[in-house]
C-alpha cells in the first residue's frame, strides 16, 4: 500500500512559479513510476507529466513542455513538479499518482493517488 500526500499549491499571479511536492509512504518508492495529473472545475482529469522509476526519463503533455519540470528524489520518497510561467489555464487541482514500473499518461492505469493540491493562477 502506498500513501501519497501533495503539498505546495496556492494562489499565484500569471507568470509566477510554484513547486509541488508529493511525498509517499510505504515501501519501494523506486519501484513506482510517478505521474502528475490535474483537474480543472467542470473538466476531465488530464495528464500533466510523468517520470520513470529512476528519474531518467520524463514525459510531458504538450501544453506544459518548457514550463513545467518533473523530478524525483528516491532517497526522500518524493516527486516534485516545478511550475514556471504559470497561466490562468493552469488553474486546477493537481494530483500525484503512482503505478508500478512504467510511466503512462493514462490516469486509469495508476493505482495510488494523493488527495490533491489546488493551484490558482490569477490573470
Radius of gyration for the chain, computed over Cα atoms and rounded to the nearest angstrom: 13
Question: 3-state DSSP helix/strand/coil percent for the chain, to nearest 5?
Answer: 10, 50, 40
Q: Residue 44: what pLDDT?
A: 96
**Mean confidence (pLDDT) of the chain:** 95
**Among residues of the chain, what percentage have pLDDT more than 70?**
100
Label residue 82 exposed, middle or buried (CB < 10 Å: 0-12, 13-18, 19+).
Answer: middle
Give which of 82, 72, 78 is closest to 119, Cα–Cα. 82
Rounded mean pLDDT of 17-24? 97
Amino acid at each position: 500500500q502506498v500513501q501519497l500526500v501533495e503539498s505546495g499549491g496556492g494562489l499565484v499571479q500569471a507568470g509566477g512559479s510554484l513547486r509541488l511536492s508529493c511525498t509517499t509512504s510505504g515501501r519501494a518508492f523506486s519501484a513506482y513510476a510517478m505521474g502528475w495529473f490535474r483537474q480543472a472545475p467542470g473538466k476531465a482529469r488530464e495528464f500533466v507529466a510523468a517520470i520513470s522509476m529512476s528519474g531518467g526519463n520524463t514525459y510531458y503533455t504538450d501544453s506544459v513542455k518548457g514550463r513545467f519540470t518533473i523530478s524525483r528524489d528516491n532517497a526522500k520518497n518524493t516527486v516534485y513538479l516545478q511550475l514556471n510561467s504559470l497561466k490562468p489555464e493552469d488553474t486546477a487541482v493537481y494530483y500525484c499518482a503512482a503505478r508500478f514500473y512504467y510511466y503512462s499518461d493514462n490516469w486509469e492505469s495508476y493505482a495510488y493517488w494523493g488527495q490533491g493540491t489546488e493551484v490558482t493562477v490569477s490573470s
